[in-house]
Chains A and B, each alone.
Chain A
Amino acid sequence: MSKPIDARRRRLILGLGAGAGSLLLGGCERISSDPDTQRVLGSAQWLTRAAQRALVSRDALAPQYSLSDIAPVFRANGTTDPNNPVYQGYARNQFRDWRLQVDGLVENPKEFSLDALRALRAHTQITRHDCVEGWSCIGQWTGAQLRDVLAIVLPRPQARYAMFFCADPMDGGSNYYESIDLRTAAHPQTLLAYALNGETLPVAYGAPLRLRLGRQLGYKMAKYVMHIQLVDSYRSFGGGQGGYWEDQGYAWYAGI
């Protein structure tokens, strides 16, 4: 009763099955290493971002927690003591000589001392920090809203991203860096934080200044921020993916 069409179909189906099997068992590593695979799989982040933008309003706040939720030991991750003589010089002097440089596509490039940032309206929030590895810690962060800083330097209309250049040297020789879009930069919970749990930000957590985002994963929240530059594209920096971990294959959009 087996017609030729069935035999052909059977061969096709067996072939597909064998292909899927070898994909799963043998070729995983090779397939994962293929840049095209990475590009295709990575493109899902833009769908995810579009979906989350459609579902979650621009200013929706990340949940705030109570004092009793604060982690007794907040895990310090990534660099905890930058191996950088210039940075260590600032640290020895309690960052009195440290300046945050803000420039790029702005009308009014400016340098801010730590005192100048502290003089801006301070915001304190108890929020959760979600590491891409899977753990979460709750802490109380105090800092200036990035949007207040941007209101001083006046972004030009072409500006689309804020780049954060940091003091901590990473594997490969260059320093940590990150980028966020201006929508995220304008969010009320996007802070340039200088205090954790009521204390001056310790070195292990990114002293004197780190980025805090309410709605993305920890690797976006650059520590040891030295320089903020507004740009129209992050492609010409580092490996071109918008951040140190992004250059290692992590998604630029870290809202999930």
Chain B
Amino acid sequence: MQRDKHAPLSGGGRKRILILRHSRSVRVMHWVNVLTLGIMLMSGLQIFNAHPSLYWGKSSDFSHRLLHMEAVEGAHGHTEGVTRVGGHTFVTTGLFGWSRGSDGTYTERGFPVWATLPGSTWLAMGRLWHLFFAWILVLNGAAYLLIGILSGHLRRDLLPTGADLRSLGHTFVEHVRLRFPKGDEARRYNGIQKLSYLFIVFIVGPLMVLTGLTMSPTMDAGFPWLLDVFDGRQSARTIHFLGAMCLLAFVLVHLVMVIVSGLRNNLRSMITGRYAIEVEQVVAKGAEHE
């Protein structure tokens, strides 16, 4: 984030310069993550669809489900998709419980065709995708941590400063107004960005790995404390699902932010590394001769 490439693009009192925002390793790992996380999310929903219910505790008490998606006979003999959460029932036809299968006809399934990998109901294949790319995701994550610590990226760019924390409220208001820094402040992540990245990297990421491993019967034999930490295999499965929803929410907000804060600039910075910011025209003589 420190090397400047001068590119006088605009006149007047301010000029645009390109700074190196993302190192090559961060860019590569980011795009590996995009592919891997997409596959993990969609194949995870395929696996969820094999039993679209969630429970708390050691085992599945089929009479006490936290979440349940199914097709039921509704009024007037029509089949409806319903989603039951706690004591509430929502009609979710077309989305959850009852939606068009890959052949176009309605079928009972948790998440719809467009959300799962593969699209059709195919648990075996969903597991193959999920348990292959789980390795890629973990290796990518480990590389990110290692490089992030060794290069100082985590400490320099993600550790919030006191000023970051004090201005969280202000930053939030600016975000809601869709006003984003363009000048020198844009050289750094703001407090909200830093905290959300840290939350994903150090809380949600490890939680997903650990709850995933807790669902493995062999891991439970070797590391029974996993079951104590998460209050049982079915709780771990529920937390894994909630973690996935959390990651999905993060990705959606991230995408919105990428678009509203300058799609071209953001995309370029994650592809070539170069990010444009606006700085005051420097009047010092040396700068003119570059």
Is the pair A135, B131 in contact by a Cβ cutoff of 8 Å?
no
User: Is the CB–CB distance between B271 and A13 below 8 Å?
Assistant: yes
**Is the Cβ of A56 less than 8 Å from the Cβ of B217?**
no
The answer, yes or no, to whether A114 is at the interface (CB within 8 Å) is no
B58–A42 touching, CB < 8 Å: no
Select which of A38, A52, A136 is within 8 A of B216 by beta carbon.
A52
How distant is the Cα of A215 from the Cα of B216 in the complex, in angstroms?
A: 8
Flag whether A250 is at the interface (Cβ < 8 A). Answer: yes
- Contact present for A128 and B62 (CB under 8 Å): no
- Give the A-B pair count, Cβ closer than 8 A: 144
Query: C-beta contact mask, A9-50 vs B, less than 8 Å → 1, else 0?
Result: 110010000001000100011001000001011111101100
Question: Which secondary structure characterizes the binding site on chain B?
Answer: helix
Q: Is the CB of A44 within 8 A of B132?
A: yes
Does A1 interact with chain B (Cβ within 8 Å)? yes
B262 partner residues in chain A, CB cutoff 8 A: none
Q: Is the beta-carbon distance between B125 and A32 smaller than 8 angstroms?
A: yes
A137 touches B222 (CB 8 A): no
Of B42, B217, B237, the contact of A214 (CB 8 Å cutoff): B217
Give A249's nearest chain B residue, CB to CB. Answer: B124
Does A151 have its Cβ within 8 Å of any Cβ on chain B?
no
Residues on A with C-beta less than 8 A from B59 are 69, 71, 128, 135-138
**Is the Cβ of B58 less than 8 Å from the Cβ of A133?**
no
Would you give the 0/1 interface string for B77-111, flagging 1 where the beta carbon is closer than 8 Å to chain A?
A: 00000000000000000000000001000000000
B222 touches A60 (CB 8 A): yes
Say whether B275 faces chain A, with CB atoms less than 8 Å apart: no
| CB atoms of B50 and A133 under 8 A apart | yes
Interface 1/0 per residue, A186-223 and B, CB below 8 Å: 00000000000000000000000000001111000000
Residues of B within 8 A of A248 (CB): 124
Interface flags, A119-160, vs B, CB<8A=1, else 0: 000000000101111111110000000000000000000000
Neighbouring A residues of B50 by C-beta, 8 Å? 132-134
Q: Decide yes or no: A41 and B129 within 8 Å by CB, A29-B102, A134-B51, A138-B59 being known contacts.
A: yes
Contacts A63-B227, A130-B233; A138 near B58 (Cβ below 8 A): yes
Query: Could you say which of A32, A42, A45, A128 has the most chain B C-beta atoms within 10 Å of its C-beta?
Result: A32
The interface residues of chain A lying within 8 Å CB-to-CB of B124 are 245, 248-251
B60 interface neighbour in A56, A135, A216, Cβ under 8 Å: A135
**Does A73 sit at the interface, judged by CB under 8 A?**
yes
In A84-141, which residues have CB < 8 Å from any B CB?
Answer: 128, 130-138
B234 at interface, CB cutoff 8 A: yes
Q: Is the CB of B58 within 8 A of A28?
A: no
Among A1, A13, A56, A134, contact of B7 (Cβ-Cβ < 8 Å): A1
Judge if B120 is at the interface, Cβ distance under 8 Å.
yes
| Cβ < 8 Å to B, chain A residues 66-82 | 69, 71, 73, 75
A55 touches B227 (CB 8 A): no
B221 sits at the interface (CB 8 A) = yes
Q: How far is the CA of A204 from the CA of B121 in the complex (A)?
A: 26
**Residues of chain B within 8 A of A57, CB atoms compared:** 222
A240 at the interface (CB under 8 A from B): no
Distance in angstroms between the alpha carbons of A56 and B102 in the assembled complex = 41
Q: Is B230 an interface residue (CB 8 A)?
A: no
Given contacts A71-B59, A134-B50, contact A256 B221 (CB under 8 A): no
Residue A171 at the B interface, CB < 8 A?
no
0/1 per residue, B119-154, Cβ < 8 Å to A?
110111101110110110000000000000000000
Q: A52-B218, A63-B227, A256-B218 given as contacts; is B272 within 8 A of A6 (CB)?
A: yes
Chain B residues engaging chain A, CB cutoff 8 angstroms: 7, 34-35, 38-39, 42, 47-48, 50-51, 53, 55, 58-62, 102, 117-120, 122-125, 127-129, 131-132, 134-135, 213, 215-224, 227, 233-234, 237, 271-272
Residues of A near any B CB (own CB < 8 A): 1, 6, 9-10, 13, 20, 24, 28-29, 32, 38, 40-45, 47-48, 52, 55-57, 60-63, 65, 69, 71, 73, 75, 128, 130-138, 214-217, 245, 248-251, 255-256
| List of 5 A-B pairs having minimum Cβ-Cβ separation, nearest first | A56-B222, A255-B218, A249-B124, A256-B216, A134-B51
Can you name 30 A-B residue pairings with CB atoms under 8 Å?
Answer: A28-B119, A29-B120, A32-B122, A32-B129, A38-B128, A44-B132, A52-B216, A52-B219, A56-B218, A56-B219, A56-B223, A63-B220, A63-B224, A65-B58, A69-B58, A73-B62, A75-B60, A128-B58, A128-B220, A132-B50, A132-B123, A132-B127, A134-B237, A135-B51, A135-B62, A214-B217, A249-B122, A249-B125, A250-B124, A256-B217
